[in-house]
Amino acid sequence: MGNNSRTVVKVATWSVAVITLLVGLVGAIGYVLPQNHVAARDALVSAQPAVLFDLIVDVSKYPQWRPDVTRVDILARAPLKWRQYVGSDVITFEVVESRSPERLRVRIADPDLPFGGTWTYDLAPQGSGTRLRITEHGEVYNPIFRFVSRFVMGHTSTIDGFVGVLQRRVTGPARRRRSAALRKATAITAEQLPASS
């Protein structure tokens, strides 16, 4: 074996060792992170609570205004249960609490996923709009996913995306200029809350 061949083998061996070490380190850190987390976001949305509640609970229309959702299959109406297609992911959800127009709680109803939990939408009138609080009680079972959820994506990334799309849906193109001041004033605050036992 020539010097070049030995160098290639050494580089390949070290590369595999470093990658294995990194995956092991990520897994170890993920293993010590708690499986459960709570994350929340608040937003002022320029729609009345009843209008906003109806928009959120009408999941069959998600593909019309949520660019990440390509399809929704309604599985049951009472309680509402649906399958949602986001890219190559398919997730089944069900409503576990519905008090229109003030509260909606939805849970992931697919035990085979590496994550689960609930989203609670609390809606309260504020001025001519609604103070919306979305609270995620999440569970991430796989330690590597736990690491990614905590340090790469962040626990609030999905909530942030949903709130942004919801704001755009409510304001619509004709109302965007009128509501520019409201959007600038909208405070979306994050808080990482301690996981409940």
Q: pLDDT tens digits, residue range 43-87?
A: 999 999 999 999 999 999 999 999 999 999 999 999 999 999 999
Higher pLDDT, 151 or 46: 46
Q: Sign of the C-alpha dihedral, residues 157, 158, 159, 165?
A: positive
CA angle 139/140/144 to nearest 5° reads: 165
DSSP 59-110: GGGHHHH-TTEEEEEEEEETTEEEEEEETTEEEEEEEEEEETTTEEEEEE--
Instruction: Report in angstroms the alpha-carbon separations of 110 from 25, 44, 93, 118, 193.
Output: 29, 31, 7, 12, 25
For residue 97, the model assigns a pLDDT of 98
Query: Considering the domain 35-193, what is its CATH architecture?
Result: 2-Layer Sandwich (3.30)
Greater confidence (177 vs 139) lies with 139
How far is it, in rounded angstroms, from Cα 162 to Cα 52? Answer: 13
Over 70: is that where the pLDDT of 164 sits? yes
Residue ranges of domains in the chain = 1-32, 35-193
Q: What average pLDDT is seen over the chain?
A: 84
At residue 19, the pLDDT reads 81
Burial class (CB in 10 A: 0-12, 13-18, 19+), 1: exposed
Give pTM, 2 decimals: 0.78
Q: Which residues touch 169 (CB under 8 Å, ≥6 apart)?
A: 55, 65, 66
Contact predicate 37/155, CB 8 Å:
yes
